Amino acid sequence: MRNTALVIVDLQNDYFPAGKWPLDGIEEAAEKATAVLRWFREQELPIVHVRHEFPSEDAPFFVPGSEGARIRSTVAPQESPNEAVILKNTVNSFHGTNLHDHLKERGIDSLVITGAMSHMCIDAVTRAASDLGYANTVLHDACATHDQEFNGVKVPAAQVHAAFMAGLAFAYAEVTDTATWLKQQ
């Protein structure tokens, strides 16, 4: 496990009920992510907190410097050499950031991925990580999304989440639940 890092993506205030872009099941997902975060801290393993800010004050959420763009207190980073914060401005946590360099400098080749949104940033970081050679585990119940609409068809959040987890499980990651993953450690 020494070559494994936890990556917590965009668990920020705007995704929670009082925020600008609340997600279905976000509180439950954050609870699961907190349990995994606790385990990584106990093992003194590397943790990366990814935080998204849009580059404009006109953004629909994650406005630079806003309370909504802050990482949720339950998963907030601690002052520790094992924890880093990566600021991103796009969907893909690797694009335009030093995430890949940060992981490689620490000899990381495996990632455990949690966060939001399942159909956007979790999908993007997992696929990019796979393309870069990382072995990925996505903890599906520590991720969340919301309803989507395409071409007049409304897709409930649970179906959006399931479709994206199925795609990731097919070729990009082991996809499992938090309790199963923790039992295997």
CA nearest to 74, candidates 8, 120, 24: 8
Report, in angstroms and rounded to the nearest whole number, the Rg of the chain calculated over CA atoms: 15
Task: Dump pLDDT digits (tens) for 27-64.
Answer: 999 999 999 999 999 999 999 999 999 999 999 999 99
**Residue 49 β-bridge partners:** 8, 85
Alpha-carbon distance of 134 to 71, in angstroms, equals 25
3-state secondary structure of 50: strand
- Whole-number Å distance between alpha carbons of 170 and 183: 23
As a whole number of angstroms, the distance between CA 7 and CA 138 comes to 10
Please report which helix (H) or strand (E) contains residue 91, including its range. Answer: none
Residue for token pair 């309370």: 67
Strand partners, 150: 153
Q: How many Cβ atoms are within 10 Å of 105's Cβ, its own excluded?
A: 9
Report the chain's mean pLDDT, rounded to a whole number: 97
Is residue 1 over pLDDT 90? no
Please report, for the chain, the start and end positions of each structural domain, with discontinuous segments joined by +. Answer: 4-184
**Cis amide leading into 117 (omega within 30):** yes
Per-residue model confidence as pLDDT tens digits over 95-127: 999 999 999 999 999 999 999 999 999 999 999
| CB atoms near residue 7 (< 10 Å) | 26
Architecture of domain 4-184: 3-Layer(aba) Sandwich (3.40)
Confidence bin at 2 (pLDDT 50/70/90): confident
Look at residue 170 and give its three-state secondary structure: helix
Looking at 9-115, list the stretches that DSSP marks H as alpha helix, in order from N- to C-terminal side.
Answer: 26-43, 99-105
Q: What is the C-alpha separation between 23 and 121, in angstroms, rounded?
A: 13
